[in-house]
Amino acid sequence: MRTPITVKFSGQMAEQHKLPAYEAAQSLYGLSRSILIITNYLDEGRVRHRRFENIGFEFNLVTQRAGSFETLYELITNPAAMKVAYDLSVGVAATFIENFISSMILRAVGGVAHQSIEELEATKQLNTGDTGALVDAIDPALREAHKLIDRGAGNIFIICGDNNNVNLNNSTKEYINTTEYDESISIKLFSVANFDANSSSGRAYDLEEHKTVPFTLDSDDDEKSVEALLKSYNSYVRARRLGHKLNSAVAFKYNAIRSSDGRTKKINVSMVREDLTAL
């Protein structure tokens, strides 16, 4: 299966049909490495940071489109031979690979994953421990990908397949380059979209921001927290998959890891209860 990927630079020097060579090369390196790490996970089912010599797919730089700053790649895969893609082959759309690549990049820069990816996580067909580790793994490469922002281009567009667009810009650059630990305790309602008991981690749907955020439960010793998490997760899945009208919201007591503009990157949860008054 061939998936075309287009990287387009716009704004600033790019409008004059030129870019600073070093920053442009660093950006393309960062994007290429990010896509390679993500696709390799789909291929072998593990998050690898190095040694990509014997990959089971092709990732090629095809050409640069004449008269524009568009760099064209092609990803050639055989989903039937890929560990994660094969496991998900039944009932999963042909656009799964491009949706997955764009979703991991979007999450890494503060965006929202494709709905189909979040549904696969909610039903545990995708492991949120793995997808969380994957987002962490591509973080350094995406910092490199942003080197050109405000140093030659205002935007970098990544187009996976036909309509999966990721826009790297000033906002995403600030998000990925700043991390602040908020020592103040926060209390808020979330719905548990996924929970992996082995890693004590998962994703929770923020009812105010309308997006899921990764979380880690600090202690497995609190039985009430685990019970509340599992009850919320069960209700969340039944509501999403079966249409049941269930209240899946539970109260989290947590510390947040944020970007400099206040957006939440991750939360460390110390306690979970069925309502705010129980915290």
Cα 195 to Cα 202: distance, rounded to the nearest angstrom: 4
From first to last of its 279 residues, the chain has per-residue pLDDT tens of 889 999 999 999 998 888 999 999 999 999 999 999 999 999 998 898 888 878 889 999 997 766 667 899 999 988 888 888 776 655 456 688 999 999 999 999 999 999 989 988 888 889 888 999 999 999 999 999 999 999 999 999 999 987 778 999 999 999 999 999 999 999 999 999 989 888 889 999 998 888 899 999 997 678 999 999 999 999 988 876 655 555 899 999 999 999 988 889 999 999 999 999 998
Tell me what pLDDT residue 184 has: 95
Enumerate the β-bridge partners of residue 215. Answer: 202, 267
Tell me what pLDDT residue 237 has: 84
Tell me what pLDDT residue 261 has: 84
In this structure, the number of other CB atoms found within 10 A of the CB of residue 251 comes to 20
DSSP type of residue 182 = -
> What are the CA-CA distances from residue 200 to residues 69, 166, 250, 269 (Å)?
44, 30, 17, 10
User: Which amino acid is located at 206 in the chain?
Assistant: D
Predicted model pTM: 0.85
Cα 37 to Cα 7: distance, rounded to the nearest angstrom: 17
Q: Which residue has the tokens 């994007």?
A: 31
